[in-house]
Structure formats: C-alpha cells, structure tokens
C-alpha cells in the first residue's frame, strides 16, 4: 500500500507490499506556512492509519527534527505533530527522517534540483554563505528503508543521510563543475544548518552490508551519474 504519487512514492512502487503502508504524501516544502495544506496531510494521515490495519507503517519526516538547537518553523512543528500522531495510532511504525533528496534533476523542488535548473536556465540565485545541508540519493534511501523493514526494529525513528554535511555553495560549485557552466548567484552572509550524528545508521549499514558508500565525495559521484542521464 503506497499513499502518494510523487518521486518518493514512485521509487517504492516496485516494492509494494500488502504488509507495508508507505505514506509518501503530504507537505514537503519546509517553507510552507499554509494551515490548509497541513490540515490536508493530517486528515489523510489519520484516514490512512485507520485503513492500514496491522501493516508496517512507513512515514518520511525531516532530519531537522533531530537537531534540538535548530529553530522549528511551522513546517517542522507540523512534522513533529504527524510523527506523534503515528506513534499514538500505529502498532508498528518506521519513521525515517530524511534530508535533501535527489533523483530526477529536472523536476521536484529540492535545493539540488533548484540549483541545477537555475544553472541550466541562467537564473539569478541567492546563496547563504553559511548554509549547510545533508543529502541522500533517493535509491539509496530506498535500499535503507527496505533493509530496515526486514532487519530493523519496529517503532523506530531513524535519521537517513550521507553523514557528510555540505555547504550550499559547495553543492552549487559541484554542479557548476559537472555541468561545465557557471552559476549566476549572489552570496549573502547568513547561517542556516545543524549537526547530526548517524551512528545508528552507520552501524546498520555495516551490519547488513548494504551496498552504499557514503563519503565526502558522495554528492559528486551520485550527481555525475544523474547529469549523464539528464543533460
């Protein structure tokens, strides 16, 4: 059972199971302040929880919730409320807190896709000098989720990301290098980021011998594969 039809839902569609409910719908823009969108997700989530019966329930939340010192805007407050709703209404939940995802570069609004399309279209960008982001390629997320459903503990909350934290300007410069094009951007002095530890994830990957190689070069390696397809 898969709820949603976006990129995240689609990556799990070949692995649809009667025993698992993947909730891959709802608000995904961290700048959202629209109470109507928040309420729409809450209602859909409540209905899905009722329909899911005894299925394993998978929900995708945000890594930012794991950073106690990071300011929580309306979006993050909403995500915390959705997590609490699941914890109180599911006997077997798996909450995966995820960072910036990337898969198809030509669509879907993430910082990586935004930078990619802005370079291609020669649009002006504003980049924070001290903004940091964690990332993960969407198929690697799928690998981890499927393995955790088989070997991880139920009623868990897991941060899932490449442990290396990238500066926003570093992401932009990586795309410039791979595309062999210069970005049109303005750098402004502003901080935005948080630190996370991924020991639980790293121990799980090692234990299950998943074919995932996280490193400082992870973004460049994975983006190069994408650009060969989409450029």
For the cut 80, the answer to whether the pLDDT of residue 140 exceeds it is yes
pLDDT of residue 86: 96
- How far are the Cα atoms of 3, 143, 192, 206, 228 from residue 59, in angstroms, in the given order? 10, 15, 25, 23, 31
Domain positions in the chain are 2-230
Structure tokens at 48: 């899905």
Cβ(154)–Cβ(92) below 8 Å:
yes
Tens digit of pLDDT for each residue in 148-163?
999 999 999 999 999 9
Tens digit of pLDDT for each residue in 162-208?
999 999 999 999 999 999 999 999 999 999 999 999 999 999 999 99
DSSP category for residue 131 = E
Q: Record the pTM.
A: 0.92
Per-residue confidence band for 79, with pLDDT thresholds at 50, 70 and 90: very high
Q: Distance of alpha carbon 89 from its chain centroid, rounded?
A: 23
- Compute the mean pLDDT over every residue in the chain, rounded to the nearest whole number: 91
Please give the residue that has the higher pLDDT: either 83 or 51. 83
For the cut 60, the answer to whether the pLDDT of residue 231 exceeds it is no
Q: CA dihedral defined by 117, 196, 206, 171, rounded to 10 degrees?
A: 20
Q: Say whether domain 2-230 belongs to CATH 3.30.9.10.
A: no
Write out the DSSP string of 135-172: EEEHHHHHHHHHHHHHHSPSSEEEE-S-SSPEEHHHHH
pLDDT of residue 54: 83
Average pLDDT value for residue range 19-42: 88
Per-residue confidence band for 33, with pLDDT thresholds at 50, 70 and 90: confident
Average pLDDT value for residue range 97-117: 86
CA distance 50 to 56: 13
For the cut 80, the answer to whether the pLDDT of residue 219 exceeds it is yes
pLDDT of residue 5: 82
Q: Where are the alpha helices (DSSP H) in the chain?
A: 7-12, 35-51, 74-89, 111-121, 138-151, 168-179, 199-208, 218-230
């Amino acid at each position: 059972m898969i709820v949603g039809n976006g990129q995240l839902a689609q990556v799990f569609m070949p692995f649809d199971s009667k025993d698992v409910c993947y909730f891959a719908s709802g608000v995904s823009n961290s700048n959202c302040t629209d109470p109507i969108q928040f309420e729409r997700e809450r209602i859909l989530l409540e209905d899905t929880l009722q329909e899911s019966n005894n299925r394993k329930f998978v929900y995708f939340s945000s890594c930012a919730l794991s950073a106690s010192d990071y300011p929580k805007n309306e979006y993050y407050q909403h995500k915390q409320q959705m997590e609490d709703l699941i914890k109180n209404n599911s006997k077997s939940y798996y909450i995966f807190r995820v960072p910036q995802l990337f898969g198809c570069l030509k669509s879907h609004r993430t910082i990586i896709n935004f930078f990619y399309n802005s370079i291609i279209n020669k649009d002006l960008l504003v980049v924070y000098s001290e903004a940091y982001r964690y990332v993960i390629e969407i198929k690697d997320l799928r690998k981890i989720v499927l393995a955790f459903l088989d070997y991880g503990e139920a009623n868990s909350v897991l941060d899932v990301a490449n442990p290396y934290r990238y500066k926003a300007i570093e992401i932009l410069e990586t795309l410039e290098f791979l595309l062999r094009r210069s970005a049109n951007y303005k750098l402004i002095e502003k901080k935005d980021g948080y630190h996370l530890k991924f020991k639980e994830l790293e121990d799980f990957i090692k234990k299950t011998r998943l074919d995932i190689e996280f490193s400082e070069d992870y973004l460049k390696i994975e983006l190069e594969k994408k650009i060969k397809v989409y450029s």
